[in-house]
Amino acid sequence: MNRLKAGFCFRVDSLTDPRRARDMETLDLLVLPELADGGYAALAGGAPPHTQEDSYFSPFAKLSRQHNLCCIAGSTCVASRAGRRTNSSLVYHRGRLLHRYDKVHLFKPTGDHKFFSPGKSFGTFRVTLQGRHIRAGVVICYDLRFPELIRAMAREGMQILIVPARWPKIRDEAWQTLLKARAMENQIFVLGCNALGNEGGFSYAFDPSGRRIFSNRGRKARDLEVFTIDLDSLAAARRLHDNLREAVLLQGTSFPRRVTPRPGRPSPSVSHRSAGR
């Protein structure tokens, strides 16, 4: 089977809502937004951080076990035993913690740097869904503006990028454009799960060719949205041209450096003749 059912869940309490049980049974992948447990307003109000082991994450682990789905718990403030706080996304599958990502790029206008320490690493994870081995990765909100981070993940074989966010409506054009660009340039699926309300906006998903496969813009907000990921479209996008294979600069190919001289100074440029030797 080459199709996956993905869901964006915008409220943590929907995870335990009996009315949503049937919907959850159909999903292979479930994603929540950035700071899903209250946002920056809760942090500013003194909400305590979680630990990786506390009960907040139990519904995510339980759901992933009951329905054999991969659950990306959006993100939340997580404190280490040493007291270091990070904006962290935890991923669960079959009841176990599969992957963790701590937000690397902190967005100063919203005070990220006041609440969190930056993450120090990135990576991808492998999960089996519908009998298919899928390589996926997570970045959080502002990370989306740094294409070199996502290209490095794509070179690890990433097929699906998940982006929990609190991206405001006023910058929706940038949000859509960046999601689509990351999908097209890396030929991957990009799923942008955005918070609702004053701190958030709309959510989108794009396939490897940049085609939009989900949007909740222009309709009444719902706490759970479901859409389909057609894995065959990934191979189809790469059949015509494979961006990752043809990215010569990342394969070690070097080019001569040319510097435009200031007026009145000799040129330090490398000539075409010397570059060809």
* 71 token code pair: 């659950």
In a domain, 187, yes or no: yes
Measured CA to CA, the distance from residue 146 to residue 9 in angstroms comes to: 25
Query: Would the pLDDT of 79 be above 90?
Result: yes
Cα torsion 203, 181, 208, 90: sign: negative
Residue 1 or 114, more confident: 114
In a domain, 270, yes or no: no
In a domain, 250, yes or no: no
Banded model confidence at residue 263, pLDDT cuts 50, 70, 90: low
Q: How far is residue 236 from each of residues 46, 112, 183, 194, 242, measured CA to CA in Å?
A: 49, 39, 14, 28, 10
From the list 86, 89, 32, 36, the residue with the least C-alpha distance to 63 is 32
In a domain, 252, yes or no: no
In a domain, 216, yes or no: yes
CATH code for the domain of 230: 3.60.110.10
* 253 token code pair: 């190919």
Query: Would the pLDDT of 146 be above 70?
Result: yes
**pLDDT > 90: what percent of the chain?**
72
Give the pLDDT score at 269.
40
In a domain, 103, yes or no: yes
From the list 6, 5, 3, the residue with the least C-alpha distance to 203 is 6
What is the pLDDT averaged over residues 220-226? 90
* 60 token code pair: 């995510």
**Mean pLDDT estimate for the chain:** 89
Domain of residue 126, residue span = 3-236
In a domain, 276, yes or no: no
Measured CA to CA, the distance from residue 86 to residue 54 in angstroms comes to: 15
Number of structural domains the chain divides into: 1
CB atoms closer than 10 angstroms to residue 174: 12
In this predicted structure, which of 2-6, 149-153, 195-199 has the lowest mean pLDDT? 195-199
Residue 199 or 94, more confident: 94
Query: Would the pLDDT of 95 be above 80?
Result: yes
Query: Would the pLDDT of 162 be above 90?
Result: yes
* 178 token code pair: 């960046």
**What phi and psi, each to the nearest 5 degrees, are found at residue 235?**
-65, -35
In a domain, 77, yes or no: yes
Query: Would the pLDDT of 265 be above 80?
Result: no
